[in-house]
Amino acid sequence: MTESRSSGAAQHTADVVILGAGPAGLVLGNLLLARGIDCVLLERADRAHLGSRARAGFLAANTVRILERHGLAEGLRRRGREHASCEFRTEEGRFRLDYGSLGLGERHTVYPQQDLVTDLLTRYLADGGRLRFGTEALAVLDADSARPSVTAREADGRPVHWRARYVAGCDGRHGAARRSLPPGAVRRYHRDHQVSWLGLLAEAPPSLDAVGYAVHERGFAGHMARTPEVTRYYLQCERGSSPDAWSEERIWDELALRMRSADYGPLNRGPVLQRTVVDLESDVLEPLRHGALFLAGDAASLLCPAAAKGANLAVLEAELLAAALIDDLVRGDSAGLARYSQRCLAHVWRAQEFSQWMVRLLHAACGPDDAALFHNSLRRSRIESLRTSRSQQHWFAEHYVGV
Ligand code: RFL
């Protein structure tokens, strides 16, 4: 590593410059650091923000295995809780699916993403990892050359220039890695599901010991435990709705109605800590590489939250990228880097397929037209298959908890 200053911008070097300290960037950083690779993480946010950004919560069994394999699972083993059941509530009634005892017999571990990020961050810094908080990457330059670099702005506004051998774009869907891809270098497949959710985090204990999926003529409602005190809820809402248009009273009344509390028991109410509107969209970039720039996590592929796959794919891709970079930088073997994109894309498309299936399962189409009636009949038929067909339940279990 060298550090110097010329033409106003501080100049630094690292073998691997990682953009973004979310699950993808932090897993990658920890694995590279453990093998003595010279790397640095550039993160736009400050540390407090990272430790409080509530997003995912359901970790697949394979994600837990990856974290355990690298000694990064201590926090989730201590504080995470196993989860293996979901409940569907529809106009026809309700049923439980104990997916943990079907398919591959695997379970989720419920562990809030901000706690995982905090654990990974603490470990990386304790092991002496370099991380620049408050540093926004602006562009990746010369990615198709042997000497790529990153321009960035530090917390105090000063410009900085990082030269690297490889750049890992782990900075999400709106990050600098995606923005820096030249036209035509990578193809983007995009799908807008034409559905929006109001994502809520409530300081209220979970109301059922299962993930709850309610399909209702007024729209989807979802219930997901986060901790014994906090629950995530979703309410399908109009595209373009403002989160502020939803008072706490309206939120709880609408949740109670769609979750059919009158039939199946009341919800535990409490203050709503966070509300955001999420438009359900998916995309995949192909390939996940442009020269020396590699993409992982949401920067590589956006999964709509209907099937809770995004953070899990981020961890899987980070492990694959770390192994490939280590092979190259330690042993001079670049075969893993050459295969990286193809290996990830096989997982990405399977996850996209299941997410898409979930989107269609959970949302009723509105309107009296033929297309809406057709969609709703198919949806009812799918739910009925899930309720009655053993092989369908096994298929669901395998895809729901797998990555
Ligand atoms: P992240 O977590 O977005 O981290 C990217 C990091 O990059 C930083 N950054 C930059 N840093 C420097 N320069 C720039 N120019 C930068 N631009 C951005 C950001 O500050 C941030 O720290 O991406 P990563 O690591 O790829 O991880 C992806 C996951 O966060 C995401 O897929 C999941 O949260 C998706 N997701 C869920 N996934 C699951 O597996 N299970 C779930 O239960 C689940 N629930 C959810 C979710 C996503 C949600 N939202 C955000 C729609 C629930 C919700 C509400």
Q: Among residues 263, 281, 299, which one ends one of the domains?
A: 281
| Rounded mean pLDDT, 173-198 | 96
**Residues designated catalytic:** 83, 213, 305, 309, 400
| Rounded mean pLDDT, 91-106 | 93
Cα(124)–Cα(50) distance, integer angstroms: 14
Same domain, 168 and 47: yes
Would residue 123 count as lying in a domain? yes
- The answer to whether the beta carbons of residues 194 and 211 sit under 8 Å apart is no
Same domain, 120 and 153: yes
Closest ligand 1 atom, residue 311 Cα: 40
**Of 13, 119, 2, 29, nearest in space to 325 by CA:** 29
Show the tokens assigned to 379.
């949806």
Same domain, 219 and 340: no
Cα(39)–Cα(21) distance, integer angstroms: 13
* Residue whose CA is at the smallest distance from ligand 1 atom 43: 56
Would residue 252 count as lying in a domain? yes
Whether the model clears a pTM of 0.85, i.e. scores above it, the answer is yes
Ligand 1 site residues (CB inside 6 A) read 19-25, 42-45, 50, 55-58, 113, 136-137, 170-172, 175-176, 199, 278, 297-298, 305, 308-312, 314
Q: Among residues 260, 281, 302, which one ends one of the domains?
A: 281
- The answer to whether the beta carbons of residues 351 and 302 sit under 8 Å apart is no
CA of 359 to the centre of ligand 1 (A): 20
Q: Among residues 238, 254, 281, which one ends one of the domains?
A: 281
The secondary structure element, H or E, covering residue 94 is strand 93-97
pLDDT number for residue 365: 83
**What CATH number has the domain bearing residue 271?**
3.30.9.10
Show the tokens assigned to 364.
């009723």
What percentage of residues in the chain have a pLDDT greater than 90?
Answer: 92
Cα(319)–Cα(109) distance, integer angstroms: 19
Report CA Rg, the chain. Answer: 22
**pLDDT, mean over the chain:** 95
**Amino acid letter for position 128:** G
pLDDT number for residue 2: 46
pLDDT, tens digit (0-9, with 9 covering 90-100), for 75-96: 999 999 999 999 999 999 999 9
Q: Under 8 Å CB-to-CB from 370, ≥6 apart: which residues?
A: none
- The answer to whether the beta carbons of residues 12 and 160 sit under 8 Å apart is yes
Same domain, 343 and 261: no
**Amino acid letter for position 104:** L
Closest ligand 1 atom, residue 24 Cα: 25
Closest ligand 1 atom, residue 171 Cα: 7
Which of 154, 171, 181 has most ligand 1 atoms within 8 Å of its beta carbon, as the pocket-test mutant?
171
User: What is the DSSP track for 150-177?
Assistant: EEEE-TTS-EEEEEEEEEEE-S-TTSHH
Do the strands 39-42 and 9-19 form a parallel or antiparallel pair, or are they unpaired? parallel
Enclosing domain of residue 253 = 193-281
Provide the domain count of the chain: 2
pLDDT, tens digit (0-9, with 9 covering 90-100), for 228-279: 999 999 999 999 999 999 999 999 999 999 999 999 999 999 999 999 999 9
**What CATH number has the domain bearing residue 131?**
3.50.50.60
